[in-house]
Amino acid sequence: MDIKGTVIIIGGSENRGTTNTGDFKNGSILSRVIAESKHKAGSRVEIIAAASGIPEELGASYMAAFRSLGAENLGMLSIKNRDSASDTFVLERLMAADTVFFTGGDQLRLKTLLFGSPFLAILNEKLQDKHFVYAGTSAGAAAVSDVMITAGSGQTVIRKGAVTTEQGFGLVGNITVDTHFMKRGRIGRLFEIIASNPTVLGIGLAEDTGFVITGGTHMECIGEGTAIIVDGHSMRATNVANIETGSPISIDNLRVHVLRKRDIYYAHTRTLLIAES
């Protein structure tokens, strides 16, 4: 879908201020979430840990991280079942939020809770406000996808059927997002998905790395690691439709971009601007 708001997708394991790596208060991904929010530190931020099996514990960790960044107006929005996603109290808090932050966990759990719900409908409406921010890490980033990865291990051989997908929230049109990307060797997952869905843009995010997406097309790389973009629009041929499940895949002419902090990818023109050192 076309959006006017800001979507921040993170590859997981981002700095929460509990280590001595980097400048947490001024240079971390979470500090960028606050910087993008409408009222900065005064913005209403709702943390949603519904993807996690330990939502209270994980949510409290992010509450502490955002407080240490000076955030003054925080809440933890509990969504334990599908009834919660229709609850008037929950929906009113979502409507009042300037920023929502979805934690990691299991993106399929998020889908079963929210897909087709009033909560997701309001979330889509909120993204038509240029001041609204959706931020998600790990599962919270993967759920943004049109084609959402739900399972599949990293492999040295790219085989048909090695990755399982579902329809995602589609908050940003025609993308698929994979997280913990470099550490878990997941580039083959993107290759398989793009071979079958060449109009979809594949995004792979290393840990503590992300994109700030504005207007649905302007993508600024942030964080300390590497991001990968796999673009299939110029793909000339693939054998994926003609082979048995488990067989190796061949693909001709995929485009792959490698990005670091401050590089910008323009999705509407499929071009990359590499930042000056």
Give the integer Cα–Cα distance in Å for 79 and 56.
Answer: 11
Other CB atoms within a 10 A radius of the CB of residue 80 amount to 10
> Sign of dihedral through CA atoms 205, 208, 213, 217?
negative
Give the integer Cα–Cα distance in Å for 33 and 255.
Answer: 30
**H/E stretch holding 31:** helix 29-36
CATH code where residue 74 lies = 3.40.50.880
Give the integer Cα–Cα distance in Å for 270 and 272.
Answer: 7
Task: Give rounded-to-5 percent helix, strand, coil for the chain.
Answer: 25, 25, 45
Q: What is the pLDDT of residue 216?
A: 95
pTM: 0.97
User: Do the domain assignments include residue 224?
Assistant: yes
Average pLDDT estimate for 246-273? 98
pLDDT > 90? residue 166: yes
User: Do the domain assignments include residue 260?
Assistant: yes
User: Do the domain assignments include residue 37?
Assistant: yes
Please classify residue 245 by burial: count the beta carbons closer than 10 Å to its beta carbon, then call 0-12 exposed, 13-18 middle and 19+ buried: exposed
Domain count, the chain: 1
Size of the chain in residues: 277
User: Do the domain assignments include residue 270?
Assistant: no
Tens of pLDDT, residue by residue over 170-202, are 999 999 999 999 999 999 999 999 999 999 999
Instruction: Report which DSSP code applies to 94.
Output: H
Q: What is the pLDDT of residue 21?
A: 65
Average pLDDT estimate for 6-28? 89
User: Do the domain assignments include residue 275?
Assistant: no
pLDDT > 70? residue 121: yes
Q: Show the tokens assigned to 211.
A: 């994109």
Taking Cα atoms as reference points, which of 229, 207, 211, 222 lies closest to residue 171? 211
Q: Are 267 and 219 in contact (CB under 8 A)?
A: yes
pLDDT > 90? residue 16: yes
User: Do the domain assignments include residue 137?
Assistant: yes
Q: What is the pLDDT of residue 277?
A: 77
Q: Are 213 and 8 in contact (CB under 8 A)?
A: yes
Other CB atoms within a 10 A radius of the CB of residue 171 amount to 23
Q: At what angle do helices 118-126 and 88-96 cross, to 10 degrees?
A: 10
Residues of the domain holding 108: 6-264
Residue 97: band (very low, low, confident or very high) from pLDDT cuts 50, 70, 90:
very high
User: Do the domain assignments include residue 93?
Assistant: yes
Q: Show the tokens assigned to 187.
A: 């580039």
Q: What percent of the chain has pLDDT above 90?
A: 94
Residue 40 dihedral angles phi and psi, to the nearest 5°: 55, -125
pLDDT > 80? residue 22: no
User: Do the domain assignments include residue 243?
Assistant: yes
Average pLDDT estimate for 252-268? 98
